[in-house]
Chains A and B, each alone.
Chain A
Amino acid sequence: MVRLKLNKIIIIAVSLLLFSCKADVPKVKGEQPNSQQSIKIGIIAALSGPAAGYGNSIVNGFTLAASEINKAGALNIELIIEDSAGKQEQALSVVKKLINSDKVTAILGPTLSTEMRLVGPEANNSGIPILATSNTASGITDIGQFVFRDSMPESIAIPFAIKKAIEKYHIKNVAMFYGDDDVFTKSAFDTMKSTAEALGLNITTIEKFQKGQTDFKAQLTKIKSTSPDALLCSALYNEGGVILDQARKIGITVPVIGGNGFNSPKIFEIAGSSSDGLIVATPWFSESVENPKVLDFISKFEKAYGSKPDQFAAQAYDGLFIMAHAIKTAGSADRNKIRDALASVRNFNGVLGKFSFDQNRDVDMEPFVLIAKDSKFQLLQ
């Protein structure tokens, strides 16, 4: 009985609270944001489950950015962090919570493109600006006018890598090798193929492999026999590392241009010195960069979390700064004004470099093109 009563009291208390919040909202609108007035920003990240590695890195980036923004004083941001576990249904339920009970001003996340397919329309229909900082699938910003992205899809990164490699190595004939049973490797392959065709490269052969294979010698022997000037390879790092290793062993010495799967330190663990000559494009490169903003970010991040920031932390960090910039530009917590301010962000100076949104609210910036040498990436110049 007592417990039941307590429950009722809690329900009444909560509904009163909700009611009072609701009553507050109209007042917030139109008011100048100031340090007293905190702005709620919802974060959806995969903090458990198989994508937790990404999610944790992303949340670290957001948290560091929020503390810096609040310290600067112009804005007071309150992050409301929700775990989606990398699952679509959980992502959907937390976005509903952020919209309906927390009444956030804007949302950053979710971690995975598949989650965004459900979360994006929900935020868009409620008129809440949502900025993806780690989705790389195509068509993310087509979800609606309120959906933005600052993470670079492979469809932008790969053509940069190929063009730069052509300039440097005078490539005319390319062989292609990809995993045909994985959505990511297949879509990167499609980008590589259309880029190669658009640039007038001659494709000597297209070979495929499947998940879990460790023997690529038959395909690589065939590729070698067509004497290409470069190998365009789309694979995740586990297969990618082994492919590089076997390719070098059977005597393929030409540059290998890889998709995002190759942009991982694991490649060096697996392939070792065979990784020399691997070319990738990435939005984030922290070594041999002398930009004080980047160095400052790295040292602060290391101090706070004890590890170097990766691409996902950097994209999240810039993402919250871009959002804060838009809120300041909008001069109000009005979501429509913030959306318009976001849409007009051009040449924003972040740790990723000069960042702009294109007409379609998607990322518009140049990636770094890197080449592996002595088991390390360095800028391809």
Chain B
Amino acid sequence: MHLFIEQLINGITLGSIYSLTALGLTLIFGVLDILNMAHGAVFMFGAFTAVLIVSKLGLPLWVGFLGGCIVSGLLGYALEMFALRPLRRRKNTSPLAPLISTIGVSIILENIARALFGSDTISFRTSISDINFKLGEIDINLINLVILAVSFTITILLYFWLKNSKSGRALRAVSENPDTAAFLGVNTSKVITFTVVSASCAGGAAGVLVAMAFNSVNNEIGLAMGLKGLAIIILGGMGSVNGAVAGGILLGLAETFVVAYGDSGYKEIIGFIIIMAVLLIKPQGIFGTTQKVKV
């Protein structure tokens, strides 16, 4: 039984990070109708920034966390300015053009990361990463609890912001119908920029949490996480916030329990098996609706 609970904690921790990663993707898909293929690379930069700030500069963990979020947010701003907005301005661009340009950005970012940080795994040591305690028979890592707390807090804040605040409502209006929103006085351009930046911040935060959870970063992590994020929003329903959260947790639990009670060789593919099964029954994803109602 205690083994089950330990694995449950592993799975929910992993899932909460997946959720946060997928949230950024789903927000951008909601307002822009594009898949942001550079999200993984932005995520990785967040992780590397935090590691540099904490390990090399010796600053406290929360500074590293903020630094990772800020750098990722800036990269999101650059992504919007150089890769997305110019394409939106032109009429008659292919709907696939922004997808391709985000792939381009992700390749550029990955190469920059290789030049800056090298291709080796870099370890990430934090003051809390060695703290364990026992609850009855259950071994608990403090860091898992911290990660759970941080990622759920960010997710809940995002959720209520979208639901209740003025700018959140503007974002939802733009995702519903950009032309009508503009007609009603919403500055769509500003909303889009704001969305891409905050989605990238969330991605960066998820990157830092991954580095904390697994004590390390490497430059392959961005690609892996970007693809998993896409899988999650397809599973949960494109553009759905609830879907991103539920899909992320589901994937984290599935990956953990297939190892715990099945064969660890299937860890990487279990998510995709679930996606195929879900899409056969509900092609629009768990929280997707046939009408495209987003965010």
- Physical interaction between A and B: yes
Q: Write the residues of chain A forming the contact surface with B, with a CB cutoff of 8 angstroms.
A: 180, 207-219, 221-222, 225, 238-239, 241-242, 245-246, 249-251, 266, 269-272
Asked if B82 is at the interface (CB within 8 A of a chain A CB), the reply is no
Count of A-B residue pairs with CB < 8 Å: 98
Interface centre among B223, B224, B257, B267 (most CB of A within 10 A): B267
Q: Closest Cβ of chain B: how far from A153's Cβ, in Å?
A: 25
B6 touching A214, Cβ below 8 Å: no
Asked if B265 is at the interface (CB within 8 A of a chain A CB), the reply is yes
Could you tell me the distance between the alpha carbons of A209 and B258 in the complex, rounded to whole angstroms?
Answer: 12
Q: Which of A180, A213, A246, A249 contacts B132 (CB under 8 A)? A: A249
Q: Which of B6, B123, B213 contacts A221 (CB under 8 A)? A: B6
Q: Closest Cβ of chain A: how far from B172's Cβ, in Å?
A: 34
Q: Write the residues of chain B forming the contact surface with A, with a CB cutoff of 8 angstroms.
A: 3, 6-7, 10-11, 14, 120-123, 125, 129-130, 132, 139, 141, 210, 213-218, 220-221, 223-224, 255-257, 259-260, 263-265, 267-268
B255 touching A218, Cβ below 8 Å: yes
B121 touching A270, Cβ below 8 Å: yes
Q: Closest Cβ of chain B: how far from A271's Cβ, in Å?
A: 7
Known A242-B214, A246-B215; judge A218-B123 contact (CB<8 A): no
Could you tell me the distance between the alpha carbons of A210 and B266 in the complex, rounded to whole angstroms?
Answer: 9
Contacts of B265 in A (CB 8 A): 180, 208
Closest residue of A by beta carbon distance from B213: A215
A241 touching B221, Cβ below 8 Å: no
Known A218-B255, A219-B259, A249-B141; judge A209-B264 contact (CB<8 A): yes
Contacts of A266 in B (CB 8 A): 120
B214 touching A215, Cβ below 8 Å: yes
B10 touching A249, Cβ below 8 Å: no
Leading 3 A-B pairs by shortest Cβ distance: A218-B259, A214-B214, A212-B220
Known A245-B215, A251-B139; judge A218-B221 contact (CB<8 A): no
Known A221-B3, A221-B6, A242-B216; judge A212-B259 contact (CB<8 A): no
Could you tell me the distance between the alpha carbons of A238 and B119 in the complex, rounded to whole angstroms?
Answer: 9
Contacts of B139 in A (CB 8 A): 250-251
Can you name 28 A-B residue pairings with CB atoms under 8 Å? A208-B263, A211-B220, A212-B218, A213-B267, A213-B268, A215-B214, A216-B214, A218-B7, A218-B256, A218-B260, A219-B259, A221-B6, A222-B259, A222-B260, A238-B120, A238-B121, A241-B121, A242-B121, A242-B215, A242-B216, A245-B123, A246-B215, A249-B130, A249-B215, A250-B139, A250-B141, A271-B123, A272-B123
B121 touching A218, Cβ below 8 Å: no
Could you tell me the distance between the alpha carbons of A221 and B137 in the complex, rounded to whole angstroms?
Answer: 13
Q: Which of B257, B260, B267 contacts A209 (CB under 8 A)? A: B267
A212 touching B215, Cβ below 8 Å: no
Interface centre among A211, A215, A245, A249 (most CB of B within 10 A): A215
Contacts of A219 in B (CB 8 A): 259, 264, 267
Q: Closest Cβ of chain A: how far from B2's Cβ, in Å?
A: 9
